[in-house]
C-alpha cells in the first residue's frame, strides 16, 4: 500500500528561469499587490457607505476612485512622531516587520501556469518549495512580532494591551489555520502550492475538505484582525490598539500590511480549496496569463466577504473569541484531521459507496453530541451566573475584605442613626448606643 502522504517536489518547472527573471516577477507581484490594495480600500469604503446609506468617497476622481491615492500622499507627508518614552529602534522596526512580511507569503502563490516571458518558458510564480505552505504560515508568524513590538516599544498602556491581544489572537488562530490545512496536504500528498493546484483539476478540495474550508475562513478573519475580530484595535477600549502612538507612513505600513495580508489569506484559500488559477468549469480557458484573471476573481470573492462582515457584524467579546478558538475550533479540527487520515489510510474515497453512509452517520452523531454538549455548557454557565447574583446581598459593606479600596489604618464604617447616611471616619473611637442615639 502506498503511503497516505508523500513530500513530493513541486510541479512547476523553474529550469528555464534565470535569477534576473525571478527578480522581475517579484517586482511585478509587488506592484500587483499594491494596485490591488489601492482598489480594495476604495471598494471597501464605497460598499460600506452604500450599506450604511451614505455616499462614501465621491469627491476626488470619478466616483472617488483617487481618494486612496490622496490618503496615501497625506500619510507620506505627515510628520512621524516618536513618543518620548518609546524605544526608538524597536518603534521604527515594528512597522517595517508588519509591512514587509505580508509580501513574503505571496512569493509561493501560483498566479498561473507556464508562460513565455522575455524569451523564457517559466511558471507564473516567483518560487515554489516542497513545503511552500509552511513558508506562508512562518511568514505570518513572524509578522506577529511587528504587533507585539509596536505595542511594547510605544511606552504606553493601550498599545501594550493591543499588542498582547493581537499576539495571542494571531498565535491562537494560526494553530487552527495550520490544522485546517492538514486535510488538504493529505489529499494532495504535498505541501507544494503548485502541486496542490494541479491535484484539484478533477475536483476542488472544498468538496472533500469542506469542514477544513469553514475553519480556515474563520481563522483567516481572526488572523488578519478584521471585523468582527479586530479586537487588537478595539476603539472603545483600546483607542487604536498597538498602533495608537504611530503616525505618518509608519501607521501606513500597518495599514498596508493588513490589506496585503487579506489578499494573502484569500489567495491561499483560493489555491488550497478553490483550484487556484484554474477556471471553475473545465470548458473555460485558463492557460497562460488567463490564470491571473481567475485567481484574482476568486480573491475578490473573499474580499467582498471581508467587506460584508465589516458592515454587518458587531465586534465580538475577546474572551468569547479566544474560548471559541481554543475550546471548539482546535479540538474539532483535530477530530476532522483524524477522520480524513483514517479515510485516506483505508484507501477509500470520501464519498465512495462504502464510506458515504458511515461518514454521514458519524457526522450526524458528532453534530448531535456537540449540540448537546453546547446546551449543557450553556445551562451550566446560566446556573453559575444565577448563583453569583444570589451571593451578592442588597447592601454591600465597601470595606468588607478591603474591596474596592483597603481602609486606611484605623478607618472604619460608622453606623448612622435612623434617617442619616453612613459616614467614614478615620481613627474614630467606638460609639455606644447612647452616643449614637444622641446624634
pLDDT, residue 349, reads 53
Angstrom CA distances, 150 to 75, 95, 101, 240, 435, stand at 18, 7, 15, 12, 62
pLDDT, residue 361, reads 72
Q: Strands 114-117 and 423-425, how do they pair? A: unpaired
pLDDT tens digits, 362-420? 767 777 777 787 778 777 777 777 776 666 555 555 555 555 566 666 555 555 555 54
- pLDDT beneath 70: ranges in the chain: 1-11, 235-238, 345-360, 363, 388-439
Domain borders along the chain are 19-347, 351-378
pLDDT, residue 401, reads 55
Residue 425: phi and psi, rounded to 5, are -125, 125
User: Alpha helix (H) ranges present in 154-209?
Assistant: 157-188, 193-198
- Reported pTM: 0.76
pLDDT, residue 300, reads 93
Give the three-state DSSP class for 390.
helix
pLDDT tens digits, 80-122? 788 888 888 888 888 888 888 888 888 888 888 888 888 888 8
Amino acid at each position: 500500500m502506498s503511503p497516505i502522504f508523500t513530500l513530493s517536489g513541486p510541479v512547476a518547472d523553474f529550469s528555464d528561469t534565470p535569477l534576473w527573471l525571478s527578480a522581475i516577477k517579484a517586482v511585478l507581484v509587488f506592484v500587483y499587490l499594491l494596485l490591488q490594495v489601492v482598489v480594495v480600500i476604495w471598494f471597501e469604503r464605497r460598499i460600506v457607505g452604500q450599506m450604511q446609506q451614505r455616499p462614501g468617497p465621491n469627491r476626488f476622481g470619478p466616483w472617488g476612485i483617487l481618494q486612496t491615492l490622496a490618503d496615501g500622499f497625506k500619510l507620506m507627508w505627515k510628520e512621524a512622531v516618536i513618543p518620548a518614552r518609546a524605544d526608538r529602534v524597536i518603534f521604527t522596526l515594528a512597522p517595517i516587520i508588519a509591512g514587509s512580511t505580508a509580501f513574503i507569503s505571496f512569493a509561493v502563490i501560483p498566479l498561473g501556469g507556464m508562460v513565455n516571458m522575455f524569451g523564457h518558458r517559466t511558471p507564473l510564480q516567483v518560487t515554489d518549495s516542497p513545503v511552500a505552505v509552511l513558508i506562508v504560515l512562518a511568514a505570518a508568524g513572524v509578522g506577529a512580532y511587528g504587533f507585539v513590538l509596536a505595542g511594547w516599544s510605544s511606552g504606553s498602556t493601550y498599545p501594550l494591551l493591543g499588542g498582547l491581544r493581537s499576539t495571542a489572537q494571531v498565535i491562537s488562530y494560526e494553530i487552527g489555520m495550520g490544522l485546517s490545512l492538514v486535510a488538504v496536504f493529505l489529499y494532495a500528498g504535498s505541501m507544494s502550492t503548485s502541486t496542490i493546484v494541479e491535484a484539484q483539476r478533477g475536483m476542488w478540495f472544498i468538496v472533500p475538505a469542506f469542514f477544513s474550508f469553514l475553519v480556515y475562513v474563520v481563522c483567516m478573519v481572526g488572523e488578519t484582525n478584521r471585523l468582527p475580530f479586530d479586537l487588537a484595535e478595539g476603539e472603545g477600549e483600546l483607542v487604536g490598539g498597538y498602533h495608537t502612538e504611530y503616525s505618518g507612513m509608519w501607521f501606513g505600513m500597518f495599514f498596508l500590511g493588513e490589506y496585503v495580508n487579506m489578499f494573502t489569506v484569500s489567495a491561499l484559500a483560493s489555491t488550497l480549496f478553490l483550484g487556484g488559477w484554474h477556471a471553475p468549469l473545465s470548458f473555460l480557458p485558463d492557460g497562460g496569463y488567463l490564470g491571473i484573471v481567475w485567481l484574482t476573481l476568486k480573491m475578490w470573492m473573499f474580499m467582498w466577504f471581508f467587506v460584508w462582515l465589516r458592515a454587518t457584524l458587531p465586534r465580538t467579546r475577546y474572551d468569547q473569541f479566544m474560548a471559541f478558538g481554543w475550546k471548539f475550533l482546535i479540538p474539532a479540527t483535530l477530530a476532522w484531521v483524524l477522520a480524513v487520515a483514517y479515510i485516506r489510510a483505508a484507501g477509500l474515497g470520501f464519498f465512495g459507496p462504502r464510506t458515504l453512509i458511515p461518514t454521514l452517520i458519524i457526522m450526524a452523531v458528532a453534530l448531535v453530541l456537540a449540540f448537546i454538549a453546547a446546551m449543557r455548557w450553556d445551562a451550566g454557565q446560566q446556573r453559575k451566573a444565577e448563583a453569583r447574583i444570589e451571593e451578592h446581598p442588597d447592601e454591600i459593606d465597601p470595606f468588607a475584605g478591603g474591596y474596592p479600596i483597603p481602609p486606611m489604618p484605623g478607618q472604619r464604617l460608622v453606623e448612622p442613626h435612623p434617617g442619616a447616611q453612613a459616614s467614614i471616619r478615620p481613627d474614630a473611637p467606638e460609639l455606644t448606643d447612647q452616643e449614637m442615639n444622641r446624634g
